[in-house]
């Protein structure tokens, strides 16, 4: 591939990238805030559930080991 063809291909790639970037629909501030709160709340809830299950399993395993 010649150097000119390679430059044209790179230019075309960046042109396509720019066109795709313009198609992105960015969320408004209100929507972004709601989604962020939902993600954080879900993460905290799952963390609490995992911790509770961990404590229950730890006590269960300790009880089995003492038998």
Q: How far apart (Å, rounded) are the C-alpha atoms in residues 27 and 18?
A: 19
The yes-or-no verdict on residue 62 having pLDDT over 80 is yes
- Angstrom CA distances, 42 to 14, 28, 38, 39, stand at 38, 21, 6, 5
pLDDT of res. 1: 62
Residue (of 51, 58, 54) closest to 66 by Cα position: 58
Residue ranges in 1-28 assigned as alpha helix (H): 3-22
The yes-or-no verdict on residue 51 having pLDDT over 90 is yes
pLDDT band at 8 (very low <50, low <70, confident <90, very high): confident
Q: What is the pTM of this model?
A: 0.61
pLDDT of res. 65: 92
pLDDT of res. 59: 96
Q: How far apart (Å, rounded) are the C-alpha atoms in residues 35 and 28?
A: 11
Above pLDDT 70, what percent of the chain?
A: 97
């Amino acid at each position: 591939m010649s150097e000119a063809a390679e430059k044209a291909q790179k230019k075309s790639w960046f042109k396509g990238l720019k066109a795709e970037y313009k198609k992105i629909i960015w969320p408004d501030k209100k929507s972004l805030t709601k989604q962020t709160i939902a993600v954080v709340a879900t993460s905290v809830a799952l963390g609490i559930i995992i911790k509770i299950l961990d404590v229950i399993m730890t006590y269960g395993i300790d009880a089995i080991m003492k038998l």
